[in-house]
Amino acid sequence: MDPLVSAAQASGVTTLTLDSPANRNALSAALVGELRAALAAAGKDPAVRAVVLTHTGNTFCAGADLKSPCDPEDFVALMREVVELPKPVVARVTGHVRAGGLGLLGSCDIAVAGPGATFAFTETHLGLAPAVISVPLLCRLDPRAAARYFLTAEPFGPAEAARIGLLTLSADADEAADEAADAPATDSGEIPASPANPVDLALAPVLDGLRKASPQGLAETKKLVTAGVRAAFDRDAARLTALSAALFASDEAREGITARFERRSPSWVS
Protein backbone atom coordinates (compact mmCIF):
# COMPACT_ATOMS: atom_id res chain seq x y z
CA MET A 1 0.00 0.00 0.00
CA ASP A 2 1.29 3.48 -0.84
CA PRO A 3 2.27 5.61 2.16
CA LEU A 4 -0.28 8.12 3.41
CA VAL A 5 2.43 10.50 4.67
CA SER A 6 5.53 11.30 2.64
CA ALA A 7 8.70 12.89 4.01
CA ALA A 8 11.36 14.98 2.28
CA GLN A 9 14.26 16.96 3.71
CA ALA A 10 16.02 20.00 2.28
CA SER A 11 18.15 22.71 3.86
CA GLY A 12 17.35 21.76 7.44
CA VAL A 13 13.58 21.49 6.94
CA THR A 14 11.65 18.22 6.85
CA THR A 15 8.41 18.47 4.88
CA LEU A 16 5.72 15.96 5.85
CA THR A 17 2.93 15.73 3.28
CA LEU A 18 -0.47 14.24 4.03
CA ASP A 19 -1.02 12.20 0.89
CA SER A 20 -4.45 10.59 1.08
CA PRO A 21 -6.48 12.79 -1.28
CA ALA A 22 -9.05 10.07 -1.97
CA ASN A 23 -10.56 10.65 1.48
CA ARG A 24 -9.42 14.29 1.74
CA ASN A 25 -6.56 13.40 4.10
CA ALA A 26 -9.03 12.31 6.76
CA LEU A 27 -7.69 11.14 10.12
CA SER A 28 -7.74 7.39 9.66
CA ALA A 29 -5.89 5.11 12.05
CA ALA A 30 -3.29 4.46 9.35
CA LEU A 31 -2.65 8.13 8.53
CA VAL A 32 -2.38 9.10 12.21
CA GLY A 33 0.07 6.25 12.83
CA GLU A 34 2.26 7.21 9.88
CA LEU A 35 2.27 10.87 10.84
CA ARG A 36 3.25 10.09 14.43
CA ALA A 37 6.14 7.96 13.22
CA ALA A 38 7.32 10.62 10.77
CA LEU A 39 7.21 13.31 13.44
CA ALA A 40 9.20 11.16 15.83
CA ALA A 41 11.87 10.58 13.18
CA ALA A 42 12.13 14.31 12.42
CA GLY A 43 12.33 15.13 16.11
CA LYS A 44 15.35 12.87 16.56
CA ASP A 45 17.24 14.10 13.47
CA PRO A 46 19.93 16.62 14.51
CA ALA A 47 20.03 18.05 10.98
CA VAL A 48 16.37 19.15 11.15
CA ARG A 49 15.57 22.66 12.39
CA ALA A 50 11.87 22.66 11.57
CA VAL A 51 9.04 20.53 10.20
CA VAL A 52 6.59 21.74 7.55
CA LEU A 53 3.24 19.94 7.54
CA THR A 54 1.37 20.21 4.24
CA HIS A 55 -0.90 18.19 1.96
CA THR A 56 -1.79 16.97 -1.50
CA GLY A 57 -5.19 17.67 -3.02
CA ASN A 58 -7.55 20.53 -2.22
CA THR A 59 -8.04 19.58 1.45
CA PHE A 60 -5.43 19.83 4.20
CA CYS A 61 -7.47 17.52 6.44
CA ALA A 62 -11.19 16.77 6.52
CA GLY A 63 -11.20 15.65 10.16
CA ALA A 64 -12.01 12.17 11.39
CA ASP A 65 -12.28 9.40 8.82
CA LEU A 66 -15.89 8.45 9.52
CA LYS A 67 -15.46 5.09 7.78
CA SER A 68 -12.23 4.16 9.54
CA PRO A 69 -11.73 6.55 12.46
CA CYS A 70 -8.63 6.58 14.55
CA ASP A 71 -8.90 6.03 18.29
CA PRO A 72 -9.46 9.36 20.10
CA GLU A 73 -6.51 8.59 22.36
CA ASP A 74 -4.24 8.20 19.34
CA PHE A 75 -5.38 11.51 17.89
CA VAL A 76 -4.81 13.27 21.21
CA ALA A 77 -1.34 11.69 21.33
CA LEU A 78 -0.65 13.03 17.81
CA MET A 79 -1.66 16.58 18.71
CA ARG A 80 0.41 16.44 21.88
CA GLU A 81 3.43 15.15 19.97
CA VAL A 82 3.19 18.10 17.57
CA VAL A 83 3.09 20.49 20.53
CA GLU A 84 5.93 18.76 22.39
CA LEU A 85 8.23 18.10 19.42
CA PRO A 86 11.53 19.92 20.11
CA LYS A 87 11.41 21.34 16.56
CA PRO A 88 8.92 23.99 15.40
CA VAL A 89 6.09 22.58 13.29
CA VAL A 90 4.82 24.88 10.54
CA ALA A 91 1.48 24.21 8.80
CA ARG A 92 1.36 25.03 5.09
CA VAL A 93 -2.30 25.06 4.01
CA THR A 94 -3.55 25.59 0.47
CA GLY A 95 -6.97 23.96 0.81
CA HIS A 96 -9.85 23.21 3.16
CA VAL A 97 -9.64 22.26 6.85
CA ARG A 98 -12.52 20.74 8.75
CA ALA A 99 -13.27 19.46 12.27
CA GLY A 100 -10.38 17.35 13.61
CA GLY A 101 -8.09 18.78 10.95
CA LEU A 102 -8.37 22.07 12.81
CA GLY A 103 -7.02 20.39 15.93
CA LEU A 104 -3.99 19.28 13.97
CA LEU A 105 -3.60 22.78 12.54
CA GLY A 106 -4.01 24.36 15.96
CA SER A 107 -1.30 22.15 17.42
CA CYS A 108 1.28 23.57 15.01
CA ASP A 109 3.51 26.40 16.18
CA ILE A 110 3.09 28.51 13.04
CA ALA A 111 0.30 28.22 10.47
CA VAL A 112 0.08 29.84 7.05
CA ALA A 113 -2.81 29.45 4.59
CA GLY A 114 -3.49 30.76 1.12
CA PRO A 115 -6.54 32.36 -0.47
CA GLY A 116 -8.06 29.00 -1.45
CA ALA A 117 -8.31 27.77 2.15
CA THR A 118 -11.54 27.50 4.12
CA PHE A 119 -12.17 26.39 7.69
CA ALA A 120 -15.16 25.01 9.60
CA PHE A 121 -15.83 23.27 12.90
CA THR A 122 -18.53 20.92 11.60
CA GLU A 123 -19.03 18.76 14.70
CA THR A 124 -22.33 20.20 15.93
CA HIS A 125 -23.98 19.40 12.59
CA LEU A 126 -23.06 15.72 13.13
CA GLY A 127 -24.28 15.37 16.71
CA LEU A 128 -20.73 15.78 18.04
CA ALA A 129 -18.65 18.47 19.75
CA PRO A 130 -15.13 19.78 19.05
CA ALA A 131 -14.01 18.07 22.24
CA VAL A 132 -10.39 16.94 21.99
CA ILE A 133 -9.44 19.58 19.42
CA SER A 134 -10.48 22.27 21.90
CA VAL A 135 -7.39 21.44 23.98
CA PRO A 136 -4.90 23.26 21.72
CA LEU A 137 -7.43 25.57 20.07
CA LEU A 138 -9.00 27.28 23.08
CA CYS A 139 -5.50 28.38 24.12
CA ARG A 140 -5.04 30.16 20.79
CA LEU A 141 -8.43 31.42 19.60
CA ASP A 142 -10.31 34.58 20.43
CA PRO A 143 -12.97 33.36 22.92
CA ARG A 144 -15.92 35.06 21.22
CA ALA A 145 -14.88 33.72 17.83
CA ALA A 146 -14.40 30.24 19.25
CA ALA A 147 -17.92 30.29 20.69
CA ARG A 148 -19.40 31.41 17.37
CA TYR A 149 -17.60 29.01 15.06
CA PHE A 150 -17.64 26.00 17.41
CA LEU A 151 -21.41 26.33 17.81
CA THR A 152 -22.57 27.32 14.32
CA ALA A 153 -20.21 25.30 12.07
CA GLU A 154 -20.04 28.31 9.72
CA PRO A 155 -17.20 28.20 7.18
CA PHE A 156 -14.74 31.08 7.15
CA GLY A 157 -11.70 32.12 5.16
CA PRO A 158 -8.01 32.70 5.88
CA ALA A 159 -8.27 36.40 6.72
CA GLU A 160 -10.82 35.64 9.43
CA ALA A 161 -8.75 32.64 10.56
CA ALA A 162 -5.76 34.92 11.05
CA ARG A 163 -7.87 37.53 12.87
CA ILE A 164 -9.14 35.03 15.44
CA GLY A 165 -5.77 33.37 16.06
CA LEU A 166 -6.16 30.14 14.11
CA LEU A 167 -3.51 31.20 11.57
CA THR A 168 -0.24 33.04 11.97
CA LEU A 169 -0.38 34.44 8.44
CA SER A 170 -2.97 34.68 5.70
CA ALA A 171 -1.09 34.66 2.39
CA ASP A 172 -2.54 37.07 -0.15
CA ALA A 173 -2.44 36.17 -3.84
CA ASP A 174 -2.48 39.82 -4.97
CA GLU A 175 0.39 40.69 -2.64
CA ALA A 176 2.40 37.75 -3.98
CA ALA A 177 1.84 38.93 -7.53
CA ASP A 178 2.89 42.48 -6.60
CA GLU A 179 6.10 41.25 -4.96
CA ALA A 180 6.95 39.16 -8.00
CA ALA A 181 6.36 42.13 -10.30
CA ASP A 182 8.56 44.35 -8.13
CA ALA A 183 11.40 41.82 -7.96
CA PRO A 184 14.66 43.01 -9.51
CA ALA A 185 15.64 41.67 -12.90
CA THR A 186 18.26 38.96 -13.12
CA ASP A 187 21.63 39.44 -14.80
CA SER A 188 20.05 38.33 -18.06
CA GLY A 189 17.42 41.07 -17.73
CA GLU A 190 14.58 38.62 -17.08
CA ILE A 191 12.06 39.21 -14.31
CA PRO A 192 12.13 36.26 -11.87
CA ALA A 193 9.15 33.94 -12.12
CA SER A 194 6.39 34.24 -9.58
CA PRO A 195 6.43 31.67 -6.76
CA ALA A 196 4.19 28.66 -7.34
CA ASN A 197 1.95 29.66 -4.45
CA PRO A 198 1.58 32.78 -2.28
CA VAL A 199 1.85 30.54 0.78
CA ASP A 200 5.44 29.72 -0.15
CA LEU A 201 6.28 33.42 -0.46
CA ALA A 202 4.83 34.06 2.99
CA LEU A 203 6.69 31.08 4.44
CA ALA A 204 10.10 32.01 3.03
CA PRO A 205 11.17 34.46 5.77
CA VAL A 206 9.68 32.21 8.46
CA LEU A 207 11.72 29.20 7.37
CA ASP A 208 14.81 31.34 6.84
CA GLY A 209 14.61 32.49 10.43
CA LEU A 210 14.14 28.95 11.73
CA ARG A 211 17.10 27.65 9.72
CA LYS A 212 19.37 30.25 11.35
CA ALA A 213 18.27 29.35 14.89
CA SER A 214 20.17 26.93 17.13
CA PRO A 215 18.57 23.59 18.08
CA GLN A 216 18.74 24.46 21.78
CA GLY A 217 17.33 27.92 21.20
CA LEU A 218 14.38 26.54 19.22
CA ALA A 219 13.60 23.75 21.67
CA GLU A 220 13.68 25.93 24.78
CA THR A 221 11.79 28.78 23.15
CA LYS A 222 9.11 26.39 21.94
CA LYS A 223 8.68 25.20 25.53
CA LEU A 224 8.05 28.79 26.57
CA VAL A 225 5.42 29.54 23.94
CA THR A 226 3.58 26.21 24.30
CA ALA A 227 3.43 26.17 28.11
CA GLY A 228 -0.28 26.98 28.18
CA VAL A 229 -1.15 24.35 25.57
CA ARG A 230 0.88 21.67 27.36
CA ALA A 231 -0.85 22.53 30.63
CA ALA A 232 -4.23 22.21 28.91
CA PHE A 233 -3.33 18.72 27.71
CA ASP A 234 -2.33 17.72 31.26
CA ARG A 235 -5.54 19.15 32.67
CA ASP A 236 -8.21 18.31 30.09
CA ALA A 237 -7.09 15.67 27.59
CA ALA A 238 -8.30 12.55 29.44
CA ARG A 239 -11.73 14.00 30.19
CA LEU A 240 -12.28 15.27 26.66
CA THR A 241 -11.06 12.02 25.11
CA ALA A 242 -13.73 10.17 27.08
CA LEU A 243 -16.34 12.73 26.01
CA SER A 244 -15.36 12.35 22.37
CA ALA A 245 -15.65 8.55 22.51
CA ALA A 246 -19.06 8.80 24.19
CA LEU A 247 -20.37 11.26 21.62
CA PHE A 248 -19.22 9.15 18.66
CA ALA A 249 -21.05 6.16 20.18
CA SER A 250 -24.31 8.07 20.75
CA ASP A 251 -27.55 7.61 18.81
CA GLU A 252 -27.55 11.28 17.82
CA ALA A 253 -24.07 11.05 16.30
CA ARG A 254 -25.00 7.87 14.45
CA GLU A 255 -27.93 9.74 12.93
CA GLY A 256 -25.78 12.74 12.04
CA ILE A 257 -23.04 10.65 10.44
CA THR A 258 -25.54 8.47 8.57
CA ALA A 259 -27.30 11.57 7.25
CA ARG A 260 -23.96 12.92 6.02
CA PHE A 261 -23.26 9.74 4.05
CA GLU A 262 -26.83 9.67 2.70
CA ARG A 263 -26.59 13.35 1.71
CA ARG A 264 -29.71 14.33 3.65
CA SER A 265 -30.51 16.50 6.64
CA PRO A 266 -30.39 14.77 10.03
CA SER A 267 -33.65 14.18 11.88
CA TRP A 268 -33.22 17.18 14.18
CA VAL A 269 -33.34 19.61 11.24
CA SER A 270 -36.96 20.58 10.59
Q: Give strand ranges (E) for the chain.
A: 5-10, 13-18, 50-55, 59-61, 89-93, 96-98, 110-113, 118-120, 169-170
- Residue 38 has, within 13 A of its CA and on its CB side, a CA count of 23
Residues of the chain with pLDDT under 70: 173-196
Contact criterion met (CB below 8 Å) for 50 and 17: no
pLDDT tens track for 180-191: 445 444 444 443
CATH code, 5-173+215-261: 3.90.226.10
Q: For position 94, what pLDDT does the model report?
A: 96
Q: For position 172, what pLDDT does the model report?
A: 81
Q: For position 192, what pLDDT does the model report?
A: 42
Q: For position 1, what pLDDT does the model report?
A: 75
Please give the Cα distance from 65 to 235 (Å, whole number): 27
- Per-residue DSSP letter, 263: T
Q: For position 190, what pLDDT does the model report?
A: 41
Taking the model in full, what pTM does it have?
A: 0.91
**Which residue in 125, 83, 128, 129 sits closest to 104, CA to CA?**
83
**Residue type at 150?**
F
Please give the full DSSP string across 121-171, using - where no structure is assigned.
Answer: --GGGGT---TTTHHHHTTTS-HHHHHHHHHH---B-HHHHHHHTS-SEE-
